[in-house]
Structure 1
Amino acid sequence: MLFAPDTEEALQFIVDLANTTATASRSGADELTTLAELDALLLTYSGRKDRDQAELRAVRETRDLLRAVWTLDRDDAVEAVNRMLREARAVPYLTRHDGSDWHIHATEPDAPLAERIRVEAAMALIDVIRMDETGRLRVCDADDCDGLFIDLSRNGSRRFCSVRCGNRVNMTAFRARKAEKQ
């Protein structure tokens, strides 16, 4: 395991949130346009949920921010992470709830949802930055996809957000090579 389980879980949530954009989703449509879609994304997310259009807009803005931070170099990511924590006036504390053992939160459960998402993402990104592993935060190499993923492979060589994208690119390359031979 490259990162602590809670860090990997938070990073995977960033990926899941970020990949709801039309250019990264499996459907090819924005998959975060309704309150029902937001609820589905947040099934295991605890704390305050207002379930209104303002919250949906704020989470969509957070999605865009996290997509941008994902691709920053290490020093620029530090700046962005520090800004997210500063704007939320984040104060880390230990807590346990919902059957989980002690873990860190940096915002209160009644803080706005988008703020909690930004702060939890920032806390996970701190681990990535401290370990000098920002290069493992990747964007899919497929020309027609900008899906995000975490490269947790041993040698850090993963190139695609999904097997589907990898197969599609490999099939296109195969067909191109085959056409050249004819």
Structure 2
Amino acid sequence: MLFAHDTECALVTATALVNTADPDREGLPDVAALDAFLTAHSFTGRHEHTEAELRSVRALRPRLRRVWAADEDGIVEIVNGLLRESRALPQLIRHDDQPYHVHAVPRDAPLATRMAVEAAMALADLVRMGELSRLRTCDHPDCDNVLVDLSKNRSRRFCEAGCGNRAAVSAYRARRAAGRS
């Protein structure tokens, strides 16, 4: 593990949330999809299961996406804005059989607020550690997804949408076609 467990979880969740905003296909089309997203990312705490909550989570995505295009000062501005607006007050807590970790808003705060603050706290760790190069966009030419490279050797190039497999298949087919010529 390169970062604290809660930092890694928050980075992965923020990345996945940003990638649900596909212009061709809404990744969070309804409350049930949001429920599944939260379950997949082990996101705990208050969840109202309402359309209003879904809209507020969707509204967070473009703001988080800007992180992947911003320089360090821009990321700091986004992070500080999220923390300030949420009135974040970091505290160590333990719940759900997890060891002590940092929460900066109460577990009963609105879902979008908790998601924003957890992402902001994790991004703050990346800034402090000089690790912003771990935030990337997918190398596949047909993909606009973002990723966070948590590998030790900083070698991850493709998102979670199968782009690595598509790139490998394309390279294989190109090699085979070149071999036949």
Could you say what secondary structure the match of 1:33 adopts?
coil
* CA deviation after TM superposition for structure 1 residue 29, in Å: 2.4
Q: Counterparts of 1:100 and 1:174 in 2: how far apart (Å)?
A: 43
* CA deviation after TM superposition for structure 1 residue 180, in Å: 6.8
Could you say what secondary structure the match of 1:149 adopts?
strand
Where in structure 2 are the equivalents of 1:144-159 lying within 5 Å?
144-159=142-157
In the superposition, the TM-score normalised over structure 1's length comes to 0.87
Match of 1:135 in 2: 133
* C-alpha contact (below 8 Å) 1:140/1:160 kept by paired residues: yes
Q: 1:42 aligned to 2:38?
A: yes
Q: 1:62 aligned to 2:60?
A: yes
> What RMSD, in angstroms, separates the aligned Cα atoms of the two structures?
2.1
* CA deviation after TM superposition for structure 1 residue 179, in Å: 5.7
The counterpart of 1:105, out of the listed 103, 120, 123, is 103
Deviates more, 1:132-141 or 1:40-49: 40-49
Q: Counterparts of 2:166 and 2:115 in 1: how far apart (Å)?
A: 32
* CA deviation after TM superposition for structure 1 residue 121, in Å: 0.6
Match of 1:87 in 2: 85
* C-alpha contact (below 8 Å) 1:149/1:161 kept by paired residues: yes
Q: Counterparts of 2:36 and 2:160 in 1: how far apart (Å)?
A: 21
The counterpart of 2:76, out of the listed 70, 75, 78, is 78
* CA deviation after TM superposition for structure 1 residue 108, in Å: 1.3
Q: Counterparts of 2:152 and 2:35 in 1: how far apart (Å)?
A: 34
* C-alpha contact (below 8 Å) 1:2/1:152 kept by paired residues: yes
Deviations 1:99-152 (A, max 9, x none): 222221111122111011000110011111111111111110112112222212
In the superposition, the TM-score normalised over structure 2's length comes to 0.87
What amino acid is aligned across from residue 153 of structure 2 in structure 1? N
Unmatched runs of 5 consecutive residues or more in structure 1: none
* C-alpha contact (below 8 Å) 2:140/2:167 kept by paired residues: yes
In 2 relative to 1, CA 180–137 (structure 1 residues): closer, same or farther, beyond 3 Å? same
Unmatched runs of 5 consecutive residues or more in structure 2: none
Identity of aligned residues (%): 52
Match of 1:33 in 2: 29
Q: Counterparts of 2:4 and 2:88 in 1: how far apart (Å)?
A: 21
